[in-house]
Structure 1
Amino acid sequence: MTNLERFYRSVHGRDLQPWERQLAVRIAAALNTTTDDDFVLHLLLVYMSTNAITNMYNELVAARNTLAEDSRDLVQALAGDLRRNRLMTYVLLGVAGLSLLGSIWTLATVQSLPRDTAASVQRGPAALPLGLGGR
């Protein structure tokens, strides 16, 4: 078992795949050495790491593009719904405005109750008929 095979078995828990073995042989031939050379192992690791990073980057770019496209579609759908339902939007805004005016009127009425009550209490005995107030 070579250093490369031992490394792969200890780190990855598997044997070299044929294309990985072929890549190691090509690297060793280019360096005029054997696949047992540590430098071949390091170059193979650098290639594998770079390849993994490139694949992850490509997946991230694809996910970003999909997300951007879906966001554009969502905005277009929302704009279309608002255009179609413009009358309903105006009606709901009018109902909200009337509700606000009703709340203001109710608040003003509740705040004026103590004054109205005090005024009716002061007028109370004078407003009673003569036959009832003298006892």
Structure 2
Amino acid sequence: MTNLERFYRSVHGRDLQPWERQLAVRIAAALNTTTDDDFVVHLLLVYMSTNAITNMYNELVAARNSLAEDSRDLVRTIKSDLRRNRLLTYVMLGIAVVSLLGSVWILATVLNLSHDVTVGEARLAAALQGFERRSLGGSQRGPALDR
């Protein structure tokens, strides 16, 4: 087991994958040394951590973009709900106003009918009184005229 493999197993808890071993060989070839060199190990670890950081950054950016898109969708949904609820509120207020006006009209009609009935009763009472006077007056005058 090489220094690289031992160090990689202690750091990551697993063996080198083929592409990681190939990367270490390329780094060693570029530095004109072996894969067992500590500098190669450190460069590989720096590359792996940079790669992990880049992957995490990309995942965070993707999550942020997804969250922003979901937020925009949520804002659109809320705005449409508010618009619909505002319209529903206006409709309900309109219905309440129409109901209030209808109630006022019904009350005015009932009061008017009550007044008309009262006036009608007064006229009827006056007519009956007049009729009674005429009946009483006519029966008293009737025999007097016959004489």
CA-to-partner distance for each residue in 1:13-67, whole Å, 9 max, x for gaps? 2111100100000000000000111000010011001000000000111111111
Q: Write the mapping of 1:60-75 to structure 2, written as runs, cut at 5 A.
A: 60-75=60-75
Q: Which amino acid aligns with 1:6?
A: R
Between the aligned partners of 2:84 and 2:47, the Cα distance in structure 1 is 55
Q: Which amino acid aligns with 1:37?
A: D
Q: Which amino acid aligns with 1:62?
A: A
Structure 1 gap segments, 5+ residues each: 95-135
**Structure index of larger Rg:** 2
Aligned to 2:10: 10
SS of structure 2 residue aligned to 1:33: coil
Between the aligned partners of 2:89 and 2:55, the Cα distance in structure 1 is 47
Aligned to 1:22: 22
Between the aligned partners of 1:93 and 1:50, the Cα distance in structure 2 is 62
Aligned to 1:48: 48
RMSD over aligned CA atoms reads 1.8
Structure 2 gap segments, 5+ residues each: 95-147
CA-to-partner distance for each residue in 1:54-92, whole Å, 9 max, x for gaps? 000001111111111111111111111222232333477
Number of equivalent positions? 94
Between the aligned partners of 1:37 and 1:92, the Cα distance in structure 2 is 80
Q: Which amino acid aligns with 1:52?
A: A
SS of structure 2 residue aligned to 1:36: coil
Between the aligned partners of 1:5 and 1:67, the Cα distance in structure 2 is 40
Between the aligned partners of 2:29 and 2:93, the Cα distance in structure 1 is 77
Q: Which amino acid aligns with 1:24?
A: A
Between the aligned partners of 1:35 and 1:26, the Cα distance in structure 2 is 9
Q: Which amino acid aligns with 2:77?
A: A
